[in-house]
Amino acid sequence: MRLSLSVNGVLRVTAAVNGPGYLNVHLNLHDRPKESDYSKIVRVEGTQTHETETVSLHWPQSELRLGDVLEIRLLDDGEADAPTTVKRSSESPRNLFSHAELANELVGVVSDFDSRLMELLSKSEQLESADEHKTFKTAVGRVLYATGENFLYPVYRRHKELIPDELKGELL
C-alpha cells in the first residue's frame, strides 16, 4: 500500500506499508478554547502487522491554514519516504517476563481464569434475568479485554512462541 499527500500542490509525503497492515491519513481540526487547543494538522500513519509483531510508522505531520487544498493520491507499490518514527511492539516497555517459564505460567493462569468466567457466564444465562445476564456479560467482556491488554499481549510481544495461531498477524 502506498499513497502521497500534497498540500496546495506541494508534495509533503509519500508513505507506504509493505505487506499486511493499515495506512491512514488523519485530518484533525481542533477548536477547544477551554484547553487553548487550536490546530489544523494532517498526518500519515501506518501499521504493519507481521506474524508475531506490530510495527507503528509515523511520518511528519503538516500544519494547515484556512483555504489549503489537500490531495491524497493512491499509488502502486514502490519507493516511499522513510517514516520519522518507527515503534515495534517487541520493544514496548510494557512487555512482561524475561523468563519464559513465568510467561507460560501467566498464560495458563489467564486461560484458567477465562474458562471459569465463561462457565459462570453460562450459568448466569440460565439463572439470571435477561437484564442481569446482560450486565454480567458486559462486565465479563471488559475483564477479558483487560486481561488480554495487560497480561497476554505484553507476554506475547516478548515470547512469540506462546502466541496462539489465531492471533498471529493481528495487532499486538
- Rounded Cα distance between 81 and 74, Å, is 15
By CB atoms closer than 10 A (0-12, 13-18, 19+), residue 80 is buried
In the prediction, which pLDDT does 28 show?
A: 93
Neighbour-count burial of 114, counting CB atoms closer than 10 A to its CB (0-12 exposed, 13-18 middle, 19+ buried): middle
Q: What is the pTM of this model?
A: 0.66
pLDDT of residue 169: 75
pLDDT value at residue 93:
81
Residue 142: its pLDDT value, please? 96
Strands 62-63, 37-49: pairing is antiparallel
Which pLDDT value is given to residue 50?
A: 83
- Give residue 167's pLDDT: 83
pLDDT tens digits, the chain, 172 residues: what are they?
999 999 999 999 999 999 899 999 999 998 888 888 889 999 999 999 887 788 999 999 999 999 999 999 999 999 999 999 999 988 888 888 989 999 999 999 999 999 999 999 999 999 999 999 999 999 999 999 999 989 998 999 888 889 888 888 777 6
The answer to whether 87 and 55 have CB atoms below 8 angstroms apart is: yes
